[in-house]
């Protein structure tokens, strides 16, 4: 953090968006208590926790994990909505810091060589101004001390999965929606494919399948900030 950012935080601390208490957490708008009180999944950091069942027999992967429980209208969903759609990038950075810190505490994190954030189509990025998953990836990268490789490209737009029905989520998105920009940069690497929210896992399956197609020598682990219950 820059000296200017530190001084700004000390002079003008934020109010936590959950409890309203003043917090000096840089840029975050989330106090430590609320950040670490968010509902989370048991077994996080294991190689094959329950969330991994969504990917079995659908794509090749080494491990799959999601930290927080995402339910429509719960505090996690509201925070992610503010992060993605209301410009609250500081909230995303704080969530990414927790994700990175929690994952770094497990030996599974030692397997990864690089983090590849889930891309969004260029038109969506132009409207939003940023890719929320890249913000998460930067925060996780700092905790794991491994680089971020923005090597996955979305070749066509697709709509947000959390707003679709279960049937709609399981249809449509395929590996053709993605391609690796420079396969050589990922050759032989253990890739931590990072997304914000897992629903059925269809988007991650498509992205992981595209990586396996373009970089057959890569190993892929799946990591998300949050996941729905189904």
- Pair type for strands 114-117 and 190-198: parallel
With beta carbons less than 8 A apart as the criterion, state whether 114 and 83 touch. no
With beta carbons less than 8 A apart as the criterion, state whether 172 and 182 touch. no
Residues with Cβ < 8 Å from 20, sequence gap 6 or more? none
Domains and CATH numbers, the chain: 1-37 (no CATH), 39-228 (3.40.50.2020)
Mean pLDDT of 125-143: 95
Percent of the chain with pLDDT over 70: 87
* pLDDT band for position 60 (cuts 50, 70, 90): confident
Mean pLDDT of 21-38: 84
Per-residue pLDDT at 14 = 77
Mean pLDDT of 29-51: 92
Burial of residue 103 (number of CB atoms within 10 Å: 0-12, 13-18, 19+)? buried
Q: Per-residue pLDDT for 144 more than 60?
A: yes
Beta pairing partners, 198: 227
Percent of the chain with pLDDT over 90: 72
Per-residue pLDDT at 7 = 36
* Alpha-carbon gap, residue 22 to 54, rounded angstroms: 39
- C-alpha distances (whole Å) from 132 to each of 40, 50, 168, 209 are 20, 25, 23, 22
* Alpha-carbon gap, residue 59 to 54, rounded angstroms: 10
Per-residue pLDDT at 27 = 62
Per-residue pLDDT at 46 = 92
Q: What is the pLDDT of residues 185-204, one digit of tens each?
A: 999 999 999 999 999 899 99
């Amino acid at each position: 953090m820059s000296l200017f950012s530190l001084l700004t935080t000390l002079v003008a601390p934020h109010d936590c968006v959950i409890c309203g208490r003043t917090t000096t957490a840089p840029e975050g708008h989330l106090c430590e208590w609320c950040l670490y009180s968010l509902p989370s999944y048991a077994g996080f950091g294991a190689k094959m926790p329950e969330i991994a069942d969504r990917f079995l027999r659908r794509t090749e992967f080494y491990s799959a994990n999601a930290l927080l429980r995402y339910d429509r209208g719960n505090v996690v969903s509201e925070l992610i909505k503010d992060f993605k759609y209301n410009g609250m990038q500081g909230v995303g950075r704080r969530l990414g810091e927790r994700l990175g810190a929690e994952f770094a505490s497990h030996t599974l994190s030692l397997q990864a060589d690089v983090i590849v954030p889930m891309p969004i189509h260029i038109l969506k990025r132009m409207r939003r101004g940023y890719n929320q998953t890249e913000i998460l990836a930067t925060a996780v990268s700092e905790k794991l001390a491994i680089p971020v490789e923005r090597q996955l490209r979305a070749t066509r737009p697709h709509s947000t999965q959390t707003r679709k029905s279960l049937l709609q989520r399981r249809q449509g998105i395929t590996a053709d929606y993605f391609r690796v920009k420079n396969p050589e940069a990922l050759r032989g690497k253990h890739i931590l494919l990072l997304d914000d929210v897992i629903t059925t896992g269809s988007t991650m399956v498509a992205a992981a399948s595209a990586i396996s197609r373009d970089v057959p020598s890569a190993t892929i682990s799946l990591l998300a900030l949050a996941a729905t219950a189904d």
